[in-house]
Amino acid sequence: MIFELLRLSIDITDEDFNEIYPEHIRALARKHWTPVAVAKTASEFLVARRGTRVLDIGSGAGKFCMIGAANTKGHFTGIEQRPELVELSKKLSASYGLPNTDFIHANVTSIRFRDYDAFYLYNPFQENIDVRHRIDETVRLSTELYDAYSIHTINQLSTLPSGARLATYWTPSAVVPANFKLVDTLYKGNLNLWEKW
């Protein structure tokens, strides 16, 4: 029912959406999963045409990808280091009939950004420097990894062709290359929309 409402552009609350998750995943939602309204706005910006390939870096429980897939005609791929979250995202996408999603158990450094047209970042590396809010104990965290992942992301984004789109939510602009221009800023400055020039 949730995804039918999204397809019909009917507003739903985060509380209602998060009911699809097990309780321990739902408990992480406020800090780690994108709000429904933000996901709708960002996905509409990122999908400039039917079939746009969107990469969500650090996709967690798949919320952004699933909302984007229901809300647009794009194809959403999430990469996530935690296999439990990847399997949960795959299971939910299949059970709710979202064939335009894919979830990969991988590290950002193994992904070719040029295979995608648009990108979503919800501060995916922050956990490395804010361990008080870590999701679980299953992945290694460090400030060195934060720096390495950020540098890799900047380097990959900077080589994309003109017109590539990027949406960042609660993400420092330091991870956005200088050759991206800010198109819009929303949600009290927390959601920023960028385009490569």
Q: Which amino acid is located at 39 in the chain? A: A
**pLDDT per position in the chain (197 positions), as tens?**
899 999 999 999 999 999 999 999 999 998 899 999 999 999 999 999 999 999 999 999 999 999 999 999 999 999 999 999 999 999 999 999 999 999 999 999 999 999 999 999 999 999 989 878 888 988 888 999 999 999 999 999 999 999 999 999 999 999 999 999 999 999 999 999 999 99
Residues in Cβ contact with 95 at an 8 Å cutoff, skipping those fewer than 6 apart:
none
* Cα gap 44→71, rounded to integer Å: 7
The stretches of 19-165 forming alpha helices (DSSP H) are 23-26, 29-32, 36-46, 63-71, 83-95, 143-158
Choose the CATH number for 2-196 among 3.40.50.300, 3.40.50.720, 3.40.50.150, 1.10.1060.10.
Answer: 3.40.50.150
Nearest CA among 155, 157, 127, 164 for reference residue 142: 127
Structure confidence at residue 132 (pLDDT)? 83
Instruction: Please state the pTM of the whole predicted model.
Output: 0.96
Q: For the chain, give every domain's residue range.
A: 2-196
* pLDDT, position 181: 98
